[in-house]
């Protein structure tokens, strides 16, 4: 590991601002709401708060379509609210990182408005414009400059009739990609980031930062026979100039800060080698990255697989986690997450199907995650065991990705029941229903009408019900965070996966100097014989922290009750 930085030991809490707490009663979370709930975060013990985009935006993608990088959308509050929030977070000894979307802007961003105004605009080249394909009527299917399918199940090109060209957008048409080849674009972004540093933020979460370098010349990709458009990820994932651009970012922005920053790059499709190149070496480019492999273990392979759910595969989860732990072990650094605003709730994905085990499995999943080597991220609501929403029809979804994927699937002839099943299981809105603070009608989230309904389980699953309960999921999260803060081995210990081929047991060891810890977790509704699974030889051990209130009968590392986890020190 490169030299010790504060963020190695930190735990980050992700706030999806529109769903966290609504102070003004318009049904949408806001910055004043976040400020009113800082007690919760402080008592949880987290070190860093990550705020998802609060900037002015037409909200085609809930704020990931930014029309002004340096202001606050009035729906989320005022400039003053933001400064007050940053000051309060700092006063409480926590840090704050903001979510910056550098791959694309909104179509309403002044840069794009100018770029699209005329072909000779001085900002034309700030985005990626191409003429229609020869011999096909512009604006009709097949006339796109390349046959790429975008992230939200749409072609990646939109025709601008006025100027007679197409612009590229890997996400929604409302999210045109910036042209990072143009150095004025890069300089404008760096200057903007430096101004945020001056405003006191402690780092950045960099949205899809590994998609900024496209492979030129842009070209067609193979297509499946069912479609005109194909997976083009090879054309822009960790592209040829990515490392060079990240070097610039580090040299011209991050390294100019007066403090050590936490920088975390979101990198769908990144490999372990990419992760090492970015977070390892003498001068790491970013503190850490978000990888996606472990989030695909219950998806069908390939493009769009997330809405063709597969049963959870523990063997796949263990081996992908271990590969990243080992791969980034010596030089790089991992981020650890099982959920965010783009993923279904982990308790519903990897936990027990049986309500009797809901609490145990939420605690167990947290135990497994937090005992890996890396910086853990807690997604809002996971600390109380929030679960998926029981969506019953496509109309109940708000997410652009849900609606586009539905339309795309219907056009290909996929049955509605199948599409709905996929969206119910893995749709992003599962994680976007409002935070459950108490058992009142709207969960204490808002006095108005929430933009997405509260999960009907709010009456049982909420912060108020858990806050004084030592057996709660919340109390267990507090203990896990405290454990990390008080034990170097949790932060820096080496990692080794045990019982790799066991179907229900997740077991690993952490070692630091003479110290050796073993973590075991039972991913099943049945009792599990750990001693047999580990092949006996562990020796005497003591329990440091377990998920279950009643201590294990007899010695630790012997039997695990359903969804039990034990963290043990080998004596
Ligand atoms: O996500 C990018 C991303 O790769 C996915 O998680 C994406 O949401 C998924 O593949 C869609 O099926 C980031 C943000 O976290 C996400 O909320 C934004 O929608 C996206 O970038 C565009 O800015």
* Residues sharing a CB contact under 8 Å with residue 246, sequence separation 6 or more, in sequence order: 209, 265, 278, 285, 286
The better pLDDT of the pair 503, 329 is held by 503
Whose alpha carbon is nearest atom 23 of ligand 1?
64
Q: Read off the pLDDT of residues 508-545 as tens digits, 9 standing for 90 and up.
A: 999 999 999 999 999 999 999 999 999 876 789 999 99
64 close to ligand 1 (CB < 6 Angstrom): yes
Q: Read off the pLDDT of residues 338-377 as tens digits, 9 standing for 90 and up.
A: 999 999 999 999 999 999 999 999 999 999 999 999 999 9
Q: Read off the pLDDT of residues 540-566 as tens digits, 9 standing for 90 and up.
A: 999 999 999 888 888 899 999 999 999
User: Annotated catalytic, 266?
Assistant: yes
Cα–Cα distances in angstroms (integers) from residue 117 to residues 130, 150, 156, in the given order = 15, 24, 20
Whose alpha carbon is nearest atom 4 of ligand 1?
268
Q: What was the pLDDT predicted at 537?
A: 66
Confidence class of residue 2 from pLDDT cuts 50, 70 and 90?
low
User: Ligand 1 centre from 342 Cα, in Å?
Assistant: 6
Q: How far is 258 from 126, CA to CA, in rounded Å? A: 30
Q: Tokens 């294990």 map to which residue?
A: 552
Q: How many residues does the chain have?
A: 571
Report whether pLDDT(424) > 70.
yes
In contact, 153 and 401? CB cutoff 8 Å: yes
The better pLDDT of the pair 227, 558 is held by 558
Q: What is the ipTM of this complex?
A: 0.97
Residue 110 lies in a domain: no
Residue 352 lies in a domain: no
262 close to ligand 1 (CB < 6 Angstrom): no
Residue 159 lies in a domain: no
Own/partner pairs, 108-117, CB within 8 angstroms, 24+ separation: 108/57, 108/58, 108/65, 108/67, 109/66, 109/67, 109/68, 110/67, 111/178, 111/188, 112/176, 115/167, 115/176, 116/160, 116/162, 116/163, 116/167, 117/163
Q: How many CB atoms lie within 10 A of CB 149?
A: 23
Q: What was the pLDDT predicted at 320?
A: 98
Residue 501 lies in a domain: yes
Residue 519 lies in a domain: yes
Confidence class of residue 330 from pLDDT cuts 50, 70 and 90?
confident
Own/partner pairs, 439-443, CB within 8 angstroms, 24+ separation: 439/464, 439/465
User: Ligand 1 centre from 14 Cα, in Å?
Assistant: 15
Q: Which of 16, 207, 429 to mutate to test the pocket of ligand 1 (most atoms within 8 A of CB)?
A: 207
Residue 164 lies in a domain: no
Residue 528 lies in a domain: yes
151 close to ligand 1 (CB < 6 Angstrom): yes
CATH code, domain carrying 506: 2.60.40.1180
Cα Rg of the chain, angstroms: 24
Q: Read off the pLDDT of residues 105-123 as tens digits, 9 standing for 90 and up.
A: 999 999 999 999 999 999 9
- Widest Cα–Cα separation across the chain: 78
Catalytic residue among 81, 144, 174, 207: 207
Cis? peptide before 217, omega within 30° of 0: yes
Share of the chain above pLDDT 90, in %: 94
Q: Read off the pLDDT of residues 16-40 as tens digits, 9 standing for 90 and up.
A: 999 999 999 999 999 999 999 999 9
* Residues sharing a CB contact under 8 Å with residue 191, sequence separation 6 or more, in sequence order: none
Q: What is the pTM of this model?
A: 0.98
Q: How many CB atoms lie within 10 A of CB 2?
A: 15
Q: Read off the pLDDT of residues 157-203 as tens digits, 9 standing for 90 and up.
A: 999 999 999 999 999 999 999 999 999 999 999 999 999 999 999 99
167 has which bridge partners? 129, 158
Whose alpha carbon is nearest atom 17 of ligand 1?
342
Q: Tokens 């003053």 map to which residue?
A: 80
342 close to ligand 1 (CB < 6 Angstrom): yes
User: Ligand 1 centre from 82 Cα, in Å?
Assistant: 24
171 close to ligand 1 (CB < 6 Angstrom): yes
In contact, 538 and 531? CB cutoff 8 Å: yes
208 close to ligand 1 (CB < 6 Angstrom): yes
Residue 300 lies in a domain: no
Cα 26 vs. chain centroid, distance in angstroms? Answer: 26
Whose alpha carbon is nearest atom 3 of ligand 1?
268
Q: How far is 33 from 41, CA to CA, in rounded Å? A: 13
Whose alpha carbon is nearest atom 22 of ligand 1?
64
Helix, strand or coil for residue 511?
Answer: strand
Residues of the domain holding 509? 493-570
* Burial environment of residue 191 by CB neighbours within 10 A (0 to 12, 13 to 18, 19 or more): exposed
Q: How far is 44 from 42, CA to CA, in rounded Å? A: 5
The better pLDDT of the pair 227, 84 is held by 84
Supply the mean pLDDT for the chain.
Answer: 96
Q: Read off the pLDDT of residues 53-65 as tens digits, 9 standing for 90 and up.
A: 999 999 999 999 9
Q: What was the pLDDT predicted at 1?
A: 44
In contact, 5 and 370? CB cutoff 8 Å: no
Ligand 1 nearest atom to the CA of residue 268, by list position: 4
Short-list 526, 534, 541, 523, CA closest to 499: 534
- Give how many domains the chain has, as a whole number: 1
The H-assigned helical ranges of 118-232 are: 183-198
180 close to ligand 1 (CB < 6 Angstrom): no
Q: Which of 151, 171, 425 to mutate to test the pocket of ligand 1 (most atoms within 8 A of CB)?
A: 151
Q: How far is 373 from 328, CA to CA, in rounded Å? A: 10
Share of the chain above pLDDT 70, in %: 99
Q: How far is 445 from 437, CA to CA, in rounded Å? A: 7
13 has which bridge partners? 49, 378
């Amino acid at each position: 590991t490169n030299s010790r930085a504060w963020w190695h030991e930190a735990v980050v809490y992700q706030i999806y601002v529109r769903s966290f707490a609504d102070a003004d009663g318009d049904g949408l979370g806001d910055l004043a709401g976040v400020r009113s709930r800082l007690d919760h975060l402080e008592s949880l013990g987290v070190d860093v708060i990550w705020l998802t985009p609060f900037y002015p935006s037409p909200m085609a993608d809930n704020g990931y379509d930014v029309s002004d990088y340096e202001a606050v959308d009035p729906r989320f509050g005022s400039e003053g609210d933001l400064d007050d929030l940053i000051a309060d977070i700092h006063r409480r000894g926590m840090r704050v990182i903001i979510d910056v979307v550098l791959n694309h802007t909104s179509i309403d961003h002044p840069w794009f408005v100018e770029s699209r105004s005329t072909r000779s605009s001085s900002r034309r080249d700030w985005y990626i414009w191409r003429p229609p394909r020869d011999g096909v009527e512009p604006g009709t299917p097949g006339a796109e400059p390349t046959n790429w399918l975008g992230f939200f199940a749409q072609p990646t090109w939109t025709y601008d009739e006025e100027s007679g060209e197409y612009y590229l957008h890997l996400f929604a048409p409302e999210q045109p990609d910036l042209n990072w080849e143009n150095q004025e674009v890069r300089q404008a972004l760096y200057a903007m980031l430096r101004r945020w540093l001056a405003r006191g933020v402690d780092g950045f979460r960099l949205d899809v930062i590994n998609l900024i370098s496209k492979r030129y010349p842009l070209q067609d990709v193979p297509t499946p026979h069912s479609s005109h458009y194909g997976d083009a990820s090879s054309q822009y994932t960790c592209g040829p100039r990515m490392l060079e651009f990240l070097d610039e970012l580090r040299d011209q922005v991050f390294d100019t800060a007066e403090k050590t920053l936490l920088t975390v790059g979101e990198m769908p499709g990144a490999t372990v080698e990419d992760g090492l190149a970015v977070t390892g070496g003498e001068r790491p480019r970013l503190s850490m990255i978000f990888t996606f492999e472990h989030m695909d273990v219950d998806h069908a392979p390939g493009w769009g697989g997330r809405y063709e759910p597969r049963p959870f595969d523990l063997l796949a989860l263990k081996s992908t986690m271990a590969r990243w732990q080992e791969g980034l072990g010596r030089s790089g650094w991992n981020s650890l997450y099982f959920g965010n605003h783009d993923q279904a709730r982990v308790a519903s994905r990897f936990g027990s199907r049986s309500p009797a085990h809901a609490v145990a499995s939420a605690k167990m999943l947290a135990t497994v995650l937090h005992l890996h080597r890396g910086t853990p991220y807690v997604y809002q609501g996971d600390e109380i065991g929030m679960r998926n929403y029981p969506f019953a029809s496509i109309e109940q979804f708000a997410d652009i990705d849900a609606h586009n994927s539905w339309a795309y699937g219907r056009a290909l002839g996929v049955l509605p029941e199948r599409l709905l099943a996929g969206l119910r299981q893995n749709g992003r809105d599962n994680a976007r229903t409002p935070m459950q603070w108490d058992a009142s009608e709207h969960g204490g989230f808002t006095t108005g009408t929430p933009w997405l309904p509260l999960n009907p389980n709010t009456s049982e699953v909420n912060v108020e019900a858990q806050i004084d309960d030592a057996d709660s999921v919340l109390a267990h999260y507090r203990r896990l965070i405290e454990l990390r803060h008080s034990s170097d081995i949790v932060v820096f210990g080496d990692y080794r996966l045990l019982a790799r081929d066991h179907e229900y047991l997740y077991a690993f060891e952490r070692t630091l100097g003479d110290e050796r810890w073993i973590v075991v977790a039972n991913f099943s509704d049945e009792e599990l014989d750990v001693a047999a699974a580990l092949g006996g030889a562990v020796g005497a051990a003591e329990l440091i922290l377990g998920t279950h209130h009643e201590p294990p009968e007899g010695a630790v590392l012997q039997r695990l009750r359903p969804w039990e986890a034990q963290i043990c020190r080998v004596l």
